[in-house]
Structure 1
């Protein structure tokens, strides 16, 4: 009489096959490019002078509607072009682990404070950079579409791309710390405008460490949704309001004698909060297979960084002046 065969291990206990860094980078780069291109096509309406006529490029839709269509386009491209990587992510423990709301809310408060402190420091030293920060404002029915798209759907897509695909691939190839730093740097630069980049970098690092600490992608989604919804809501509210002390606050920030102390104070506060986040959100034990073929630094990652640097450079006043002079000389 032979002994019965051992029962196979349940599928849930087996480590997921994992996402290669090169695949995560390529997916994040493509989805980022699709999101930027689609949002420009749907929202922009740019006059293009042609011989004998002027043609408008872009549909010129309301921002909320444009971002909803952008999300649908990005999802379709992701499902068609990156199904294997997305399937690996869905099978991963980060996707299957439920969120911890208390941890997510506490991390949001700290990340929000650090992010705004860094942004205040930058804008205080370089006040002209504040004019280039994109503002998501909606009116009427489109405001609800904007809150849904920019506040919920776009954060979800960005978390899947950066803290899901890219971060997971980098962790297998380079470890927790390098993965958190590299993906945060790429995510921050992807927003282009220097003032936005400076404010987003602390938030991006907190999102990466939060995913590593809790083992759940959904905590980052919660924090990202709260941040964007608050930004859209406050931006719309403040755009339609007039506070009597607004001019005095602007004068105070632009006071050259106070600029350096205010910037240093905000920067020190932001660094202190970010240090607390770093020490608190330590990575937990990870069941995924650590070994992965190929380096974490791929051509796709380099393209993301170069795209961010180029976009940021084009928003600088000196570069814009040089381009204006060049256009005038070519006419």
Structure 2
């Protein structure tokens, strides 16, 4: 499965740099596994022992950075040599891709509301207060997106491209990114964003384009939630989500149609650059990937049990 096109003329130095990138799918799987352990498990444990959520998230990012520097040094060195690391973000591409991703995400949520409004009421909340709230917004809006982009669209996406090509890489990395968020309702909202993140990186040739999308999406959502926290509008919305009847099915189908259209436009527009080298083959499944799937599975089960 690949949509790798015939290469068009590209600067020889740039093409040579891309062709010699030695990232493998295993490198990305190790990075994702490390991120899941430090960001999901460690942060949950710290919060469970009453460390404030914002501080827990910051500690998780620091531990992630230190562990990556120690355990993933060769892969990170390869990433630093990649042209995607050194290419500035395409801002207009980021804004357009974010808009399409958000439209698709909200369309899918409307579809879910037409089937089961209580599923959306199970979306996770972030209990913080005071200065810790703003620390959490800063970490969740700036640092966590950076860590996730390096793991998923930096190491994993590039390694999968090298083995199987851009379409396979975008699909698998987007699926793992979506599943890693645990909550089923949250997955539906994240899946379109995950897809445009992968395609935007491939289309623009810059890892930082995805980071701009990710930071704006996370930071905007967290900031909006904080600004509306305690407001009458938020209280009414939370109350209705738990008690209202499902939206009319025609609304849900309309939302699904809008989501499909937005994703189709994003996919057709965000075509991978033609200078991505041809896939080399090699194994994709590995022990680190198996561990990632196990951790994701446990996270999904725990999330389902906690939100029943």
The two structures have a TM-score, normalised by structure 1, of 0.81
CA distance in 2, matches of 1:212, 1:84: 23
User: Residue 61 of structure 1 is aligned with which of 51, 66, 75?
Assistant: 51
8 Å CA contact 2:36–2:295 kept in 1: the answer is no
Larger RCO (CA under 8 A, 6+ residues apart): 2
Partner of 1:218: 208
Structure 1 residue runs of 4 or more that deviate by more than 6 Å after TM superposition: 9-12
CA distance in 1, matches of 2:272, 2:232: 45
Deviations 1:8-49 (A, max 9, x none): x979954443201122112211222222122123222xxxxx
CA distance in 1, matches of 2:267, 2:63: 35
Q: Matches of residues 226-245 of structure 1 in structure 2 within 5 Å?
A: 226-243=216-233
Partner of 2:296: 308
Report the alpha carbon displacement of residue 137 of structure 1 after superposing the two structures with TM.
4.9
CA distance in 2, matches of 1:102, 1:229: 18
Partner of 1:32: 36
- Pair 1:122-2:112 in alignment: yes
User: Residue 197 of structure 1 is aligned with which of 187, 195, 209?
Assistant: 187
Q: Matches of residues 253-268 of structure 1 in structure 2 within 5 Å?
A: 254-256=244-246, 258-268=247-257
Q: Matches of residues 102-117 of structure 1 in structure 2 within 5 Å?
A: 102-117=92-107
CA distance in 1, matches of 2:199, 2:80: 20
8 Å CA contact 1:167–1:180 kept in 2: the answer is yes
Q: Matches of residues 83-232 of structure 1 in structure 2 within 5 Å?
A: 83-232=73-222
Partner of 1:75: 65
Report the alpha carbon displacement of residue 244 of structure 1 after superposing the two structures with TM.
9.4
Deviations 1:175-229 (A, max 9, x none): 1111101011111001111001111111101000000000000000000000101
Report the alpha carbon displacement of residue 247 of structure 1 after superposing the two structures with TM.
6.0
- Report SS of the residue matched to 2:233: coil
CA distance in 2, matches of 1:252, 1:62: 27
CA distance in 2, matches of 1:38, 1:315: 16
Partner of 1:324: none
8 Å CA contact 2:31–2:72 kept in 1: the answer is yes
Relative to structure 2, which stretch is displaced further, 212-221 or 123-132? 123-132
How many residues align? The count is 296
Unmatched tracts of structure 1, length 5 or more: 1-8, 45-57, 322-331
CA distance in 2, matches of 1:229, 1:137: 16
Q: Which structure: larger Rg? A: 1
Q: Matches of residues 250-289 of structure 1 in structure 2 within 5 Å?
A: 250=240, 254-256=244-246, 258-286=247-275, 288=277
